[in-house]
Amino acid sequence: MAKALSERLRKIRIAGIIWKRKAGNSVAAKEEILRALRESGGFVSGEELSARLHVSRTAVWKDVNSLREEGYGIDSATNRGYRLVSCPDRLSPEEIGAGLGTEFLGRKAFCYASIDSTNEEAKRRALAGAPNGSLFVAERQTGGRGRLGRTWDSPAGTGLWFTVLLRAGSLPLRPTATTLLAGLAVCGAVRSVSGCDAAIKWPNDIVAGTRKVCGILAEMSAEIDRVEFMVVGIGINVNTASFPEGLREKATSLLLASGKPVRRVALLQEILRRFEALLKANAAALTPEFLKEYTRRCVTLGRRVGFRRGGRKLSGTAEKITPRGELVVRLPDGRRETVFSGEVSVQGIYGE
């Protein structure tokens, strides 16, 4: 009698699990399978996955096939089970979080197929209480912006369009230094992941050769006596194969510059790791180590540059970066001007 009752309860429990899966729990099951395969690094038996998920081995097999259809490379072998061999270049919280290793940047990720602007979404979410370090990523932006309100083209599937939210506690003592930190983080990550010989156009554009590959736009919400939060938007042309005629002389992509496709998730993870490390190391002030590395990667230095001061257009030679991250320019008459912000044209870059 007791055995029959136990068997009946088991069947009811299994039926409940199956109903939940039909109601949408299959997504969670697939995430759990991926987690198990990643943690193992090798084969995981269907029996072990079945026990872990409390489902039948047939259900596991169906979820594995579904993952394969989504682009995951999963090997299977008799008496050994399943093994994860490759992942799609998919911008999802699960893929971004797998092996990320940061303390706060990107630990909470919001991913969108399409959105007006990741910066705008970050500001909306910040006002609604989103945590420090939140990441906002979109496959496509319909209203992406660059400096001075310029349109930033953000087509789907080829680029990396994202924003990180930084609240007061993780910002440098001088918040305006944040964009320089972001610039070096992106430059280093691009070089590491793609092999592309990237450089920085002061203060935070990333170039490959003489063409722009990345733009960074930081926006701040502040009160009279303190900064509430900052959103740092980063747009990278990753696997773009071609550009409209009007942009070909000014823009390029990592694919065009390196000759090979770049996995966007890997690049994003490396940027987040480097950016977080730089934010921590330069919290009080820009360190000598940072300035040395930034100077080494800055393509602006030693070139003729143009900028505006008091309504006048001036030009001279870019000499150095100050400990506050400003650009020092020596004019033809020997005087030196310090450029704090604004548009700076650089001879030989972007066709100028």
DSSP state of 25: I
Confidence band of 12 (pLDDT split at 50, 70, 90): very low
Lowest-confidence segment of 34-38, 242-246, 257-261 by average pLDDT:
34-38
State which of 86, 104, 120 marks the end of a domain: 86
The verdict on 134 and 277 lying in the same domain is yes
List the domain range (segments joined by +) for residue 319. 304-346
The predicted pLDDT at position 311 comes to 81
The verdict on 143 and 35 lying in the same domain is no
> Virtual CA dihedral for 197, 200, 204, 210, nearest 10 degrees?
-80
The verdict on 266 and 310 lying in the same domain is no
How many independent structural domains does the chain possess? 3
Q: In Å, what is the CA distance from 162 to each residue of 23, 134, 171, 177, 273?
A: 32, 11, 18, 19, 15
- Asked if the model's pLDDT at residue 64 lies above 90, the reply is no
The verdict on 194 and 222 lying in the same domain is yes
What residues have CB less than 8 Å from 188, skipping those under 6 apart?
270, 274, 297
- 352 found inside a domain: no
The verdict on 131 and 217 lying in the same domain is yes
Q: What angle do CA 219, 90, 75 make, to 5 degrees?
A: 155
CB 91 within 8 A of CB 137: yes
Query: What are the tokens at 72?
Result: 């995951």
User: What phi and psi values does residue 175 have, to the nearest 5 degrees?
Assistant: -55, -30
- Asked if the model's pLDDT at residue 220 lies above 90, the reply is yes
Q: What is the pLDDT of residues 142-179, one digit of tens each?
A: 876 655 555 555 667 789 999 999 999 999 989 989 99
CATH number at residue 316: 2.30.30.100
Beta strands in the chain (DSSP E): 73-77, 81-86, 109-112, 135-138, 160-167, 198-201, 205-208, 211-222, 227-236, 304-309, 312-321, 327-330, 336-339, 345-346
Query: What are the tokens at 113?
Result: 């197929």
Confidence band of 211 (pLDDT split at 50, 70, 90): very high
- 351 found inside a domain: no
DSSP state of 149: G
The verdict on 50 and 144 lying in the same domain is no
| Residue 168 CB neighbours (<10 A) | 13
- Asked if the model's pLDDT at residue 67 lies above 90, the reply is no
Q: What angle do CA 269, 234, 275 make, to 5 degrees?
A: 45
The predicted pLDDT at position 4 comes to 54
Q: In Å, what is the CA distance from 289 to each residue of 24, 41, 87, 178?
A: 50, 37, 36, 16
The verdict on 78 and 141 lying in the same domain is no
DSSP state of 326: P
The verdict on 254 and 322 lying in the same domain is no
CB 290 within 8 A of CB 274: no
The verdict on 170 and 63 lying in the same domain is no
State which of 86, 103, 126 marks the end of a domain: 86
C-alpha span between 38 and 87 (Å, rounded): 11
Mean pLDDT value across residues 178-203: 97
The verdict on 338 and 228 lying in the same domain is no
CB 306 within 8 A of CB 315: yes
Q: Which of 110, 139, 104, 140 is nearest to 123 (CA)?
A: 110
Q: Which helix (H) or strand (E) holds 334?
A: none
- 268 found inside a domain: yes
- Asked if the model's pLDDT at residue 10 lies above 80, the reply is no
Q: Which of 16, 108, 92, 110 is nearest to 54 (CA)?
A: 16
Confidence band of 227 (pLDDT split at 50, 70, 90): confident
CB 203 within 8 A of CB 327: yes
- 165 found inside a domain: yes
Confidence band of 37 (pLDDT split at 50, 70, 90): confident
Mean pLDDT value across residues 102-126: 96
The verdict on 76 and 35 lying in the same domain is yes
What residues have CB less than 8 Å from 293, skipping those under 6 apart?
184
C-alpha span between 232 and 215 (Å, rounded): 11
The verdict on 13 and 127 lying in the same domain is no
User: What phi and psi values does residue 148 have, to the nearest 5 degrees?
Assistant: 60, 30
- 173 found inside a domain: yes
CATH number at residue 51: 1.10.10.10
Chain centre to alpha carbon of residue 16: 40
Confidence band of 6 (pLDDT split at 50, 70, 90): low
CATH number at residue 132: 3.30.930.10
Q: What is the pLDDT of residues 272-289, one digit of tens each?
A: 999 999 999 999 999 999
CB 145 within 8 A of CB 116: no
The whole-chain average pLDDT of the chain stands at 87
- 49 found inside a domain: yes
